[in-house]
């Protein structure tokens, strides 16, 4: 056995994989395909359904804070706790607790941008690479039992951080749009996925879904399905759920710091035109009624994600390959 394979095995053996079977990562090699939006909405819906959820923002932009409305709040540590856990093996402590009932968040931000530089030498060292890419996995093991679901929002075009996310996850969920860039990002992720199986032997591709698609774009979606089938070697990885495009909902979500299902509830209480005109209500509080359709899409996607994961876990357990 080579020194490299010995080092890899030792690093893998340090992780109690049986504690990380409920870790999901939203990933794609391309930015702007809905990773953060999907991760935040799925996490919020799971928490609203009564699950204890941890959402990890492994992104230097820290956009989860905008989706959930805690930007600039004291709980927004700009990724400091995450940086310390990954680079100094400090305990991973979610700075943003109870952002929603039963939803804790490990914020991202400017400190996460420093992770790559801090860990680059270890990741480039064949003797240390396995140890380095499993840093997030090791950080999650002590707190994993506190949560029913752990969701990681991964960054685009940052291979070291993507490797950290894949190193900790059991299930990979891939959002993509219908453009060629999304398809290229999927291919890049597939390569990262293949390489990371050396370090995380239980990493599994759960599925791919189409994000921000027009309601009537059935032909385009069929082409995307065919392309994914070609790129991944089978159509079983495609989710039937998709998330419709609504620029108004996307704008309102970041403006108000609310998720799609929360905007739907707010839209039902929109002030009337006459209330606004008479000065009895503020026009800035009006949100798009199309939030109802987007909320429905995310609810359908969330159910399909967790249903498919449960089915695959049952199959793997029966086959004796679930840790």
pLDDT greater than 70 at residue 41: yes
- pLDDT per position as a tens digit, 201-250: 999 999 999 998 776 667 777 887 777 777 777 656 889 999 998 999 99
| Spatial separation of the C-alpha atoms in residues 98 and 44, rounded to whole Å | 11
Q: What is the mean pLDDT of the chain?
A: 89
Average pLDDT over every residue of 155-167: 93
Highest mean pLDDT pick, 30-34, 75-79, 214-218:
75-79
Lowest-confidence region among 10-14, 45-49, 83-87 = 10-14
pLDDT band at 15 (very low <50, low <70, confident <90, very high): very high
Average pLDDT over residues 89-108: 97
Spans of all domains in the chain: 3-245
| Alpha-carbon gap, residue 32 to 109, rounded angstroms | 17
| HEC sequence for the chain | CCHHHHHHHHHHHCCCHHHCCCEEEECCCCCCCCHHHHHHHHHHHHHHCCCCEEEEECCCCCCHHHHHCCCCCCCCCCCHHHHHHHHHCCCCCCCEEEEECCEEEECCCCCHHHHHHHHHHHHHCCCCHHHHHCHHHHHHCCCHHHCCEEEEECCCCCHHHHHHHHHHCCEEEEEECCCHHHHHHHHHHHHHHHHHCCCCCCCEEEEEEEEEECCCCHHHHHHHHHHHHHHHCCHHHEEEEEEECCHHHHHHHHHHCCCHHHHHHHHCCCCCHHHHHCCCCCHHHCCCCCHHHHHHHHHHHHHHHHHHHHHHHHHHHHCCCCC
pLDDT attached to residue 4: 44
Write out pLDDT tens, residues 254-306.
999 999 999 998 887 766 656 666 676 676 776 678 899 999 999 999 999 99
User: Quick check: 24 and 153 in contact, CB under 8 A?
Assistant: no
Between 210 and 14, name the one with better pLDDT: 210
Residue 275 has a pLDDT of: 67
Picking from 269, 267, 268, 262, the residue whose alpha carbon sits closest to that of residue 298 is 262
* pTM > 0.85: yes
CATH number of 3-245: 3.40.50.300
Distance between CA atoms of residues 22 and 204, nearest Å: 12
């Amino acid at each position: 056995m080579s020194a490299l394979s010995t080092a890899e095995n030792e690093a893998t053996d340090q992780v109690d994989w049986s504690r990380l079977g409920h870790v999901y990562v939203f990933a794609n090699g391309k930015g702007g395909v809905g990773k953060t939006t999907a991760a935040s909405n799925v996490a919020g819906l799971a928490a609203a359904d009564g699950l204890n959820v941890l959402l990890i923002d492994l992104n230097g932009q820290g956009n989860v804070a905008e989706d959930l409305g805690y930007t600039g709040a004291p709980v927004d540590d700009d990724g400091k706790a995450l940086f310390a856990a990954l680079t100094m093996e400090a305990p991973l402590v979610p700075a943003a607790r109870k952002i929603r009932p039963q939803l804790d968040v490990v914020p991202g931000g400017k400190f996460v941008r420093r992770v790559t530089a801090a860990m680059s030498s270890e990741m480039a060292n064949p003797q240390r690479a396995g140890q380095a890419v499993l840093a997030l996995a090791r950080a999650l093991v002590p707190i994993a039992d506190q949560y029913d679901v752990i969701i990681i929002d991964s960054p685009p075009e940052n291979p070291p951080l993507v490797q950290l996310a894949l190193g900790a996850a059991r299930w990979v969920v891939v959002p993509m749009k219908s453009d060629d860039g999304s398809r290229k990002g999927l291919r890049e992720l597939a390569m990262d996925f293949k390489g990371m199986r050396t370090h995380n032997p239980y990493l599994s591709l759960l599925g791919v879904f189409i994000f921000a698609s027009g309601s009537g774009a059935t032909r385009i979606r069929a082409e995307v399905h065919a392309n994914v089938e070609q790129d991944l070697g089978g159509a079983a990885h495609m989710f039937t759920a998709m998330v419709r495009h609504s620029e108004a909902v996307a704008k309102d979500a970041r403006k108000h710091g609310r998720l799609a299902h929360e905007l739907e509830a707010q839209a039902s209480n929109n002030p009337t035109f006459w209330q606004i005109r008479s000065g009895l209500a503020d026009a800035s509080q009006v949100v798009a009624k199309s939030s109802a359709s987007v909320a429905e899409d995310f609810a359908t996607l969330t159910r399909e994600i967790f249903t498919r994961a449960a089915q695959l876990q049952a199959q793997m357990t029966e086959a004796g390959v679930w840790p």
